[in-house]
Structure 1
């Protein structure tokens, strides 16, 4: 049987663009009509929720690149409504794991003839996986139990093509009057770069090593050791940490659970205020607690390096928030912004931002919510035309994502008081 000739790259992109456009052209009006019908019957909030749910379903149909972009966009509460961000945060990689035969072929491509010399045994059944990579357990001659995170075949080409289409779509959308003054191209570009960064496995291996070194200063917190001699361009080889289970805290004593919460929160504050190198994806699949009392961080593919200026501004904001200096907090938000909208109202923003800080400062530890605070702050920024820097929004996500986990472990923990030692270290240490 004759094979079809290879399709030129431009034609492949054109075909993909046509499929995406046709899918969106059918789904978007249907979702809008359904949302409007629900709004008329049951109220505007329910109508919007239905529309947002249909939009997240559309992203899942369009493929893994759109899912990844949706997940990252769900963090941009400074740009999108809280209801839409809540829906986007529920996006999951609905991708079947590779079977054993395909996994074996993939790993043999990664390691070639060296594989029998490097590993006594590899279990070709993935122990974890998603749209970008699968993770396997292996036994190394030199390192013992090893976790191999391997890039799925064909993923870079698919991701790069779809992200290129999204950038082009953003450039067209930015011309619409409805989006005038909004940094659409910039935000989509930042999100696309964040997704592409998760395909750079040598970068991820370096990030994991940096996190492990930085967090060694925090008691009972660690990241897996990276085995450089076993890493390859499409594979990160690291220490296999046994016994990781999201249900472990439920089996532990209240004292140990409080210790988990304090250590985990201190680790996040260390990243934010002292090191400036932040793991931005600390959902429950990347943050584990062991029965030995350890906190383990996995998967450093989505990490951000703050400039020293932004790190200090971030720390100053939290320090001033902790002592109730609302006007200074507003000034820091403006100073760290990437720009202002055409109708920016800095005076109005400053007054309302100061009021938010004063109200939050008067709350007890149990009443204060970082998510509620950030949601109101981002709403103020949107309404007053103050565009937040992605370099600050993405790291802030690490705090917002872990808040629910930390509260479950230790409902009475004081987020502002726990921050002070690391704030002092970040601001005043030489």
Structure 2
């Protein structure tokens, strides 16, 4: 009788190896993607015939986003980041990707207990006197619980990573990187930094897995913003935190609609403080929270602006911080040539057929049309959208160090406009820009 040999991908005991599991996951992703896109793009083609090409393109972008949603939280997180790269991804697709949500149910009581045991083990009773077993907030990577910390009995918020989520997301992102390497070889993508863009978004997602790093980032953000009146970043309890858990001050009575019930004068203060927070991060400190959506930005009845969750943050080099400040200053005074030079000098790459003169002329016209607009008519979102369109059209790919910080401004613009429709984004920036560019001199 011939000796028994394990099938490929199995160890001698018949248990699937990591390589086999990765291959199986890749097969599931490929099958799901193929099935979903076949149906979605067929519908898009029908829509284009019946209602015109623009409607068909919108339907096709929606089909791609729906496919991503079916692939699970790793791909949703990656797509959310990719949706910010309007310099390399069509605007219609960015719109759809940016609306993807982490629709993940909270951990059950049993899962919460297991996660606590995994992180704290026998130390749990010496770190907390109590932990509520039902989370107050839930995401694809972690859930947040109310707890009481020892030895002082302080009420705290405990952000606890889901068990097993790290290896799963790491494996999925590895597959995404391999796919990008294959796609980058296509002739029509020559000169487009596909691998660099995907590597950047993968690093952004992986960074959100390390809650120890996020805790350190929150502490840094707290220190960076402490000079701005009435801005609060919760204090991190470092001794109680771990690589898979952050313990921080619990801020009571946070609600997304608090500002709606405040008088107009306080709402205007909220708007100015929020913009100052972003400008301080961008132009002075160089450490930027890129995800200040209403779930991470709150206002209190006492007039405070509260900043939470530094999972998606970037660090700017001193050179890039100064370039960003220089870009914004020149934009505000109408120097389009200088703005174009800054984008070109910091670009991640240029396509083989990049039309640099046309790009420069386009930026010059864009800045000229915007720098004298009344505050009510100026839209940073519209400005950035047109800038990214110029980059995509003429083959200039921006560095993530320029795109991700700009995202922090785009995310808060809607919130700030609701608080104060008359606020002047450019005028509010001037004191911070002057401090950043000329203060040390």
Fold match (TM-score > 0.5): yes
Distance 1:76 1:143 in 2: 45
Residue aligning to 1:172: 182
Match among 64, 67, 72 for residue 73 of structure 2: 64
What SS does the aligned partner of 1:188 have?
helix
CA-CA distance at 1:177 after TM superposition: 2.5
Closer, same or farther: CA 326–143 of 1 in aligned 2, 3 Å? farther
Stretch of structure 1 that moved more, 19-28 or 66-75: 19-28
The reply to whether residue 140 of structure 1 matches residue 149 of structure 2 is: yes
The reply to whether residue 162 of structure 1 matches residue 169 of structure 2 is: no
Distance 1:127 1:136 in 2: 6
Residue aligning to 2:346: 336
TM-score (norm 2): 0.95
Distance 1:336 1:384 in 2: 16
Distance 2:256 2:207 in 1: 26
Match among 291, 298, 319 for residue 309 of structure 1: 319
The reply to whether residue 319 of structure 1 matches residue 324 of structure 2 is: no
TM-score (norm 1): 0.97
Distance 2:54 2:297 in 1: 33
Residue aligning to 2:211: 201
Residue aligning to 1:214: 224
Match among 133, 139, 143 for residue 130 of structure 1: 139
What SS does the aligned partner of 1:138 have?
strand
What SS does the aligned partner of 1:67 have?
helix
Q: How many residues align?
A: 427
Spell out the pairing of 1:2-401 with structure 2 (5 A cutoff).
6-141=15-150, 142-401=152-411
Distance 2:117 2:164 in 1: 16
Q: Contact 2:192/2:350 (CA < 8 Å) preserved in 1?
A: no
What SS does the aligned partner of 1:258 have?
helix
Unaligned runs of 5+ in 2: 1-12
CA-CA distance at 1:143 after TM superposition: 5.0
Distance 1:34 1:178 in 2: 26
CA deviation digits over 1:89-119, x for unaligned, max 9?
1100111111112212211222222222222
Q: Contact 2:191/2:349 (CA < 8 Å) preserved in 1?
A: no
Distance 1:48 1:336 in 2: 31
Stretch of structure 1 that moved more, 21-30 or 316-325: 21-30
Closer, same or farther: CA 143–177 of 1 in aligned 2, 3 Å? farther
Distance 2:434 2:15 in 1: 60
CA deviation digits over 1:331-375, x for unaligned, max 9?
111111122211111111111101100100121100000000000
Distance 2:216 2:294 in 1: 22
CA-CA distance at 1:77 after TM superposition: 1.1
Stretch of structure 1 that moved more, 244-253 or 172-181: 172-181
Closer, same or farther: CA 63–308 of 1 in aligned 2, 3 Å? same
Distance 1:290 1:5 in 2: 58
Closer, same or farther: CA 147–75 of 1 in aligned 2, 3 Å? same
Stretch of structure 1 that moved more, 40-49 or 277-286: 40-49
Residue aligning to 1:411: 421
